[in-house]
Structure 1
Amino acid sequence: MELSHLEPQIVWKNFAALNAVPRPSKKEEQVIEFMKKFGEDLGLETTVDEVGNVIIKKPATAGMENRKPIVLQSHLDMVCQKNNDVTFDFETEGIKMEVDGDWVKAKGTTLGADNGIGVATIMSVLESSDIPHPALEALFTIDEETGMTGAIGLKPEQLEGKILLNLDTEEDDEIDIGCAGGVDVTASKIYTVNYPQGQIVKITVKGLQGGHSGMDIHKGFGNANIILGRLLYTGIDTQNIELISIDGGGLRNAIPREANAVLSVRNSVEFIDEANSLRRAIMDEFAGIEKDLDINIETFTSAEKAVSMEDSKSIILVLKSLHNGVYRMSPDVADLVETSNNVARAELENGELKILNLSRSSVESTKFAVAEQLKSVCELAGMDVEFGGSYPGWKPKPGSEIVQIMEKIYEKSFGEKPQVVACHAGLECGIIGANYPEMEMVSFGPTIRGAHSPDEKANIPSVQKFWGFFKQILAEIPAK
């Protein structure tokens, strides 16, 4: 859909152009080429580093040469999630967008406003001829959503900027000065399988909101994998359960919206009756927040082999025991989640089990405390556990010069004070800061709702507000 009639026209035009290019995490070849061509067509110095980050440099406008050079940073990749009833290939298709009142959203998929609005904003100032700004380095990183390998691979000598503006947060009244780090926790095991002895049942959980596993983890949304584990547990001692398959959740940074399991039970009528009692209780629990939750438990047919009763019990106990949600609130920052875990993906197929978690924390010791708790539970069940993709948090510096400047501009422009906060999402600032410890950093952005889910949408008036705020910041960057 054409969005260039929306204001600011230049930002929406660039967002539409970006969203026409497939850009799943770890498969960013097309969008890297798109951004490289964008910079070169503008006649700007454009490079692609060895990991795939694109850096475009633009000299200061007249009269701004003595200001501190700025790094503008956003990530090129997007979370790829769709509703089950939507046919869409994120590797070959552009996002199909629509306007709904004050919001831009996609048709049954994630929108890519995270972090596409930030990317489009940077593109807009790069191609502008009438926006005052100091010397700019536009840093477009790759793979932020599934490992931050772009930020991790950035070399210390690549940037000269003194201030980094990260355009990757989702509340337009917030100035973000800190974030959580994270670590991937993966449990796996291969089991012997045989044809099941009992009657086949299928459990399906769907219709949950999902959402961002950092920013939304404290909101009480349902996790489909956890709900599935509760339902399986109802027959653990009486129904001789043999698990045939589990398919729950998807990406580590998205709260699971859907999950299903196929299993053999001793008596399907008894199991379904007992599980339906729990189903009704779960529906009541989530009635106020998960209005579209749908749980179905029914007889089924399957020719597949199953894991033994003993091993099935072990798997169910693990699903029932894994910590999910908030682990600890920050004792230092009001209302900030310090540490959490998302049981993101549960998969059992042909006897091969994988359970994927993402543990987050702004404190390294508690990040590994929750990860080690998960490891302990899984190892007690004989599973192999690996940690990977660990990245540091970003320690807040509330008194920095750029934060003070932005607070003053915001209050003058909008008649109220901004919220200066730290967030529980993973931002690239902590990683970049490790290589550039003297660089001042701040993150901000327009209002986006439902990131990492097909409900994602960007607020049109907020993008207008953000664009004006952003331009004013560029104009008031201090002297070197």
Structure 2
Amino acid sequence: MNNNTIKKLKPESIWNHFADLNSVPRPSKKEEKVIKFIKDFGASLHLETIEDICGNVVIKKPATPGYENRKKVVLQSHLDMVCQKNNDVDFDFETQGIQMTYEGDWVHALGTTLGADNGIGVAAIMSVLSSKDIEHPAIEALFTIDEETGLTGALELSKDILSGDILLNLDTEEDDEIDIGCAGGIDVTAKANYEEKEINKNSKTYQINLSGLHGGHSGMEIHKGLGNSNKLLNRFLYDFLKFNIQLISVDGGGLRNAIPREASAIFSISSEFESKLQEQFNHLYSEIKSEFSSIDSNLTIHLSQIDHVEKGLSIEDSKKFISSLQAAPNGVFRMSPDIEGLVEASNNIARVKLEKGKAEIQCLTRSSVESSKMWVATSLEAALQLGGMKVELTGSYPGWKPNPSSEILKLAESIYEKKYGEKPSVQACHAGLECGIIGEKYPSMDMISFGPTIKGAHSPKERVSISSVQKFWDFLLEILKNITVK
């Protein structure tokens, strides 16, 4: 099955635009090709197309006849995508387009992330812009860059590039939800240079590899208790400290906004402890497999002896590094006391790298409350400083404060209930939507977020429901048709 088959799905306009979009490489921070793609698209429609100083693109379309006196709508999605693949997949996100297929009601990619987050939103906006028969008010289509690794596009968006009254962010991942709030975030990065020492001659070198975890979105799926490869691997290393191991290298995880799925480490151990090492490994492996049997059943962990390595961290520095990582908080930190079921604050230990004495740990801390965001960040800072690491807090961005009295929310709720015979779930989410940042720049803009059902975002298991895309499209068109007068 090739991507042309995807183009035959309904609604054809969205799937055609999505397939065209997915033929263009668009990793975060490397969006040059997709920026050109969307600018060329706007130009092909003879619509006013603007690229701002950081690479965001705005395409403006006049109102259809009879809708000139309606409030102007900003349709907004981000161009970049999370780039994750399975280890056995040979794929270059910078040069290749995503290969797609579908099974039943689900479209997915072949061993990589799909890019439905936020490509379906982009494709829906393209469908509105290219339509000749959809009724709508004046449209400003805002395509932002680098949402996934820093929200750079939203943060650097000019305060005078938009004039819309209402913003519809198309980046939510459950088709029965309307989001009116989200978490803010901050990057926590720890670095250290440890002096390498000679490995004891009377020692053996071992490698431990952990793989098969589910992974996922570090905001939307953090409450599920999914395994974090960096933390699980470190449980073994911490347990092995009793054997005076010398840590040689660690390599785990990837992007800050993805729950890490794989990790490995190399360490040395005195020959006298070899039999106890295997016994301890087996015991802990059994415990962890049992703990995660219902949510990460494909977890596998291998311990094997490898060729002798000559240098690594001292026993003391190994203990510092491993102990500080063991103490660092990961996962849900606090649930909201005000909104039932909402994660207020969390942290994802996303990337751990140690090579030739140089160590780096990358985390993404999220919270819908600024004070608790900094509470988690400074808790991390304190734990990692105990390992002799220098910690930086960067890239802070605000959350989006819910407005239950929003006019566009009331309209969307009314339409949803009439179309589907039930009330939508009005939510604040734990992901980092761009609405909070855009709302700071345009405080009078009324906004909501919604989208189709997407599962496994930020992992190679990402998939989008075909029937849900149709539902999302119908809902969007009905909202545009019923936007109120100015």
Do they fold alike, i.e. is TM over 0.5?
yes
Partner of 2:251: 247
CA RMSD of aligned residues (A): 0.8
Partner of 1:462: 468
What is the distance in 2 between the residues matched to 1:337 and 1:410? 26
In 2, are the aligned partners of 1:201 and 1:268 still within 8 Å (CA)? no
User: SS in structure 1 opposite 2:149?
Assistant: coil
Partner of 1:17: 20
What is the distance in 2 between the residues matched to 1:411 and 1:475? 16
Deviation at residue 318 of structure 1 after TM alignment? 1.3
- 1:123 and 2:129 aligned: no
In 1, are the aligned partners of 2:48 and 2:59 still within 8 Å (CA)? yes
In 1, are the aligned partners of 2:11 and 2:470 still within 8 Å (CA)? yes
What is the distance in 1 between the residues matched to 2:351 and 2:274? 26
- 1:207 and 2:207 aligned: no
Deviation at residue 193 of structure 1 after TM alignment? 1.1
In 2, are the aligned partners of 1:247 and 1:346 still within 8 Å (CA)? yes
- 1:443 and 2:443 aligned: no
Choose the corresponding residue for 2:266, options 239, 253, 262: 262
Residues 233-276 of structure 1, C-alpha deviation per residue, up to 9 Å, x if partnerless? 11212x22111110011000000100010111113332122122
In 1, are the aligned partners of 2:175 and 2:472 still within 8 Å (CA)? yes
Deviation at residue 4 of structure 1 after TM alignment? 1.5
Partner of 1:143: 146
What are structure 1's unaligned runs of at least 5 residues? none
Partner of 1:325: 331
Choose the corresponding residue for 1:72, options 70, 75, 80: 75
In 1, are the aligned partners of 2:325 and 2:384 still within 8 Å (CA)? no
Partner of 2:31: 28
User: SS in structure 1 opposite 2:192?
Assistant: strand
What is the distance in 1 between the residues matched to 2:275 and 2:144? 53
Partner of 2:177: 174
**Which residues in structure 2 correspond to 1:362-373 (within 5 Å)?**
362-373=368-379
User: SS in structure 1 opposite 2:185?
Assistant: strand
What is the distance in 2 between the residues matched to 1:446 and 1:37? 26
Choose the corresponding residue for 2:85, options 67, 82, 95: 82
Counterpart amino acid of residue 264 in structure 1:
S
Partner of 1:478: 484
- 1:354 and 2:357 aligned: no
| Range 367-376 or range 303-312, more displaced | 303-312
What is the distance in 2 between the residues matched to 1:236 and 1:384? 23
Partner of 1:162: 165
What are structure 2's unaligned runs of at least 5 residues? none
Deviation at residue 304 of structure 1 after TM alignment? 5.7
Residues 111-157 of structure 1, C-alpha deviation per residue, up to 9 Å, x if partnerless? 00000000000000000000000000000000000000100000111
User: SS in structure 2 opposite 1:375?
Assistant: helix
Partner of 1:62: 65
Deviation at residue 291 of structure 1 after TM alignment? 1.1
Deviation at residue 302 of structure 1 after TM alignment? 4.8
Percent identity (aligned)? 61
- 1:226 and 2:231 aligned: yes
In 1, are the aligned partners of 2:245 and 2:267 still within 8 Å (CA)? yes
In 2, are the aligned partners of 1:268 and 1:299 still within 8 Å (CA)? no
What is the distance in 1 between the residues matched to 2:132 and 2:158? 30
Partner of 2:384: 378
Deviation at residue 37 of structure 1 after TM alignment? 0.2
Counterpart amino acid of residue 9 in structure 1:
E
Residues 406-456 of structure 1, C-alpha deviation per residue, up to 9 Å, x if partnerless? 001000001110000100000000000111000001000000000000000
In 2, are the aligned partners of 1:200 and 1:268 still within 8 Å (CA)? no
Counterpart amino acid of residue 47 in structure 1:
I
In 2, are the aligned partners of 1:336 and 1:424 still within 8 Å (CA)? yes
In 1, are the aligned partners of 2:205 and 2:309 still within 8 Å (CA)? no
Counterpart amino acid of residue 213 in structure 2:
L
User: SS in structure 2 opposite 1:235?
Assistant: helix
Consecutive aligned runs of 4 or more in structure 1 exceeding 3 Å deviation: none
User: SS in structure 1 opposite 2:241?
Assistant: coil
Choose the corresponding residue for 2:427, options 421, 426, 432: 421
Choose the corresponding residue for 1:287, options 283, 293, 302: 293
What is the distance in 2 between the residues matched to 1:76 and 1:363? 27
What is the distance in 2 between the residues matched to 1:397 and 1:92? 42
What is the distance in 2 between the residues matched to 1:71 and 1:324? 36
Give the count of matched residue pairs.
479
Partner of 2:193: 190
Deviation at residue 379 of structure 1 after TM alignment? 1.3
User: SS in structure 1 opposite 2:142?
Assistant: strand
User: SS in structure 2 opposite 1:84?
Assistant: coil
In 2, are the aligned partners of 1:276 and 1:297 still within 8 Å (CA)? no
Partner of 2:111: 108
Partner of 2:321: 315
Residues 212-240 of structure 1, C-alpha deviation per residue, up to 9 Å, x if partnerless? 00010010100000101100111212x22
Partner of 1:52: 55
Partner of 1:401: 407
What is the distance in 2 between the residues matched to 1:235 and 1:102? 46
What is the distance in 2 between the residues matched to 1:303 and 1:230? 23
User: SS in structure 2 opposite 1:236?
Assistant: helix
What is the distance in 2 between the residues matched to 1:405 and 1:9? 27
Residues 261-309 of structure 1, C-alpha deviation per residue, up to 9 Å, x if partnerless? 0111113332122122101100011111111111111212254621111
Counterpart amino acid of residue 23 in structure 1:
R
What is the distance in 2 between the residues matched to 1:437 and 1:301? 61
What is the distance in 2 between the residues matched to 1:131 and 1:171? 24
In 2, are the aligned partners of 1:244 and 1:304 still within 8 Å (CA)? no
What is the distance in 2 between the residues matched to 1:147 and 1:307? 33
